[in-house]
Amino acid sequence: MAKMWVCGEDRAAISGESFAVINPATEEVVDTVPRAQAVDVHVAVDAAARAFDGWRFVPGLEKAQLMHASARWMRDYQERLATLLTREGGKPLCENRDEVEWVAAVFDYYAEVGRDSIGRVIAPTQLDQFNCVLKEPYGVVACIVPWNYPLLLLAWKMAPALAAGNTLVIKPSEYTPLSTLMLMEAFRDYPDGVVNVVTGYGAEAGEPLVTDDRVRCVAFTGSVATGRRIATLAAQGLKKTTLEMGGNDPFIICDDVDVDIAVRGAAWAAFLNMGQVCTSAERFYVFRSIHGVFMEKLVAHTRSLRLGDPLQPGVDLGPMVSDNQRQKVERKISEAEAMGARTLTGGSRPAKFPKGYYLEPAVLDRVDHRMELMREETFGPVAPVMAVDGIDEAIRLANDSRYGLGANIYTNNLEYTMRAVHGIKAGTFWINDPLTDNDAGPFGGMRMSGIGRELGIEGLEEFRETKHVHMDYRIGPKPYWFPYK
């Protein structure tokens, strides 16, 4: 059985309970892990709290050297990490190799950015004064991480939080805890208690972590419902929160593009990791003049995607992470069809995979905004397409949502581009290049997609609070003290 990682040690749950991690491609047990209860969480927080005063004062260069060493370990063990990610999460092995490299790159990035500065000197208002602004860590940070990119979305929190001088308690998803536990080998040379992991079910382990008074910052990626619950609990202690809660991203295809290129970009944006990406394109708006040819080519391209064992080479799509997730997608497709939508391809369980949580990627036409498929996050391999009469209608429909995580447009028209960029509420806007990241660029949502930012200098600032230091270095009476007395 894999063990939790607390204060530099592998530990079982105090209760002795455990749960199984299932391979979504085979439905077989990969391993078991401890089922943490509140008492386990508090032990982990205690370890992080004890380690904080030591870690916060470790020089920036020394922190950077440790983080670079962690990145080297990740690259050395890339294949083992990627294989474990595939076995517990179902994403194709080639994509998980990329994920591990991206994680290493994030640690390298924040190793340098984090030691660049800890504040700034500001001009005083009087003679004989010195003023500066210091950036200080919060203390113990809770990192609550989803299953779709379990290591990458952890790194986006973990690397800047460590670089800023915080200590961590990590709660991975119950679907994908094993790769996180393996990753802890990259931190064996850190002081005990700086990095801790508790494995457990949702609120059972998550709520004691969020409500522990010693946790001063909570970084979360996941569903809107869970994010709102975390925000409510954290507010009771006035804790800092960063919340990335998914989206319902629009994708506009204008009539001046190469349709073949747009089709490939659309399929990538809709079906990557079986649509289980927070920035997946979940609703497509295609100019009416090219709608027919676009649909024909999108259906053909979708049917060419290779569904199969994610550990095998040449596979484009693996299974969904769980049967529960698959059923949610099937229900949304069925409800849309009952309201008039037409499924042109996919949406069924492939007969050649009697085991595993497989679902054929689907393309739907004749959809509209009455349907939940177009209004709420699907998080599955579905591309619903609407024809629009032009850029004005596309922008209006793109904004007809409570979310604002990402948005896409395919066009060579600068006017269309700038009108969409300024007109659509979204934290990230992709032009002719969907779903790409840049470690130096901030990522996060607007509206119900969340608050705060990850990556970039903005991502570091989320884990630091500001102190103004005001010093008068010549002690004596001041001319402005009670001048009328």
Judge if 371 and 455 occupy the same domain: no
* Token pair of 296 as six digits: 């024909």
First vs last Cα of the chain: how many Å apart? Answer: 75
Residue of 254, 278, 282, 360 marked catalytic: 278
Q: Which of 140, 181, 173, 186 is nearest to 47 (CA)?
A: 140
Clarify whether residues 334 and 424 are in a common domain: yes
| 459 and 417 belong to one structural domain | no
pLDDT of residue 319: 98
Number of domains within the chain: 2
pLDDT score for 346: 98
Give the pair of three-digit tokens for residue 364: 């739907």
| CATH number of residue 450's parent domain | 3.40.605.10
Tokens 């708006």 sit at which residue? 285
Residues 179 and 104 in one domain: yes
Give the list of residues 6+ apart from residue 374 with CB closer than 8 angstroms, or none.
Answer: 248, 282, 283, 336, 367, 368, 384, 386
Task: Answer whether residue 30 is part of any domain.
Answer: yes
335/426 same-domain check: yes
Q: 479 lies in a domain?
A: no
Same domain, 236 and 257: no
Residue 15 lies in a domain: yes
244 given a catalytic annotation: yes
> Do 171 and 271 share a domain, yes or no?
no
Q: Let me know whether 123 and 173 are in one domain.
A: yes
What range does the domain containing 161 cover?
A: 4-246+445-470
- The residue among 360, 344, 363, 364 whose CA lies nearest residue 352 is 360
Exposure on the CB side of residue 155, measured as CA atoms within 13 A: 27
- Would 90 be classed as within a structural domain? yes
Q: Per the domain annotation, does 436 fall within a domain? A: no
Largest CA distance in the chain: 92
> What does DSSP say about strands 464-472 and 129-137: parallel, antiparallel, or unpaired?
antiparallel
Select from 78, 210, 81 the least CA-distant residue to 141. 210
Q: Are 361 and 271 in contact (CB under 8 A)?
A: yes
Chain centre to alpha carbon of residue 196: 19
* Helix 60-76 vs helix 152-164: crossing angle, to nearest 10: 160
Sign for the CA dihedral angle at 432, 436, 437, 438 comes to negative
CATH number of the domain where residue 330 is located: 3.40.309.10
Q: Are residues 147 and 277 in the same domain?
A: no
Whether residues 359 and 231 share a domain: the answer is no
pTM check: above 0.85: yes
Q: Are 142 and 116 in contact (CB under 8 A)?
A: no
Residues 166 and 267 in one domain: no
Residue 478 lies in a domain: no
Q: How high is the pLDDT of residue 485? A: 57
What gap in Å lies between CA 111 and CA 69, rounded to an integer?
10
Instruction: Tell me the one-letter amino acid at 237.
Output: G
| Alpha-carbon distances of 11 from 20, 34, 132, 171, 247, rounded to whole Å | 16, 8, 43, 14, 36
**Residue 477: what pLDDT?**
84
Determine the pLDDT at residue 484: 67
pLDDT score, position 117:
87
Asked whether residue 177 is assigned to any structural domain, the reply reads yes
Identified catalytic residue from 88, 244, 282, 454: 244
Residue by residue, pLDDT tens for the chain (485 residues) are 999 999 999 999 998 999 999 999 999 999 999 999 999 999 999 999 999 999 999 999 999 999 999 999 999 999 999 999 999 999 999 999 999 999 999 999 999 999 998 999 999 998 899 999 999 999 999 999 999 999 999 999 999 999 999 999 999 999 999 999 999 999 999 999 999 999 999 899 999 999 999 999 999 999 999 999 999 999 999 999 999 998 999 999 999 999 999 999 999 999 999 999 999 999 999 999 999 999 999 999 999 999 999 999 999 999 999 999 999 999 999 999 999 999 999 999 999 999 999 999 999 999 999 999 999 999 999 999 999 999 999 999 999 999 999 999 999 999 999 999 999 999 999 999 999 999 999 999 999 999 999 999 999 999 999 999 999 998 888 888 887 65
**Closest to 93 measured CA to CA, from 326, 318, 323:** 318
| Domain-located, residue 218 | yes
Residues 242 and 343 in one domain: no
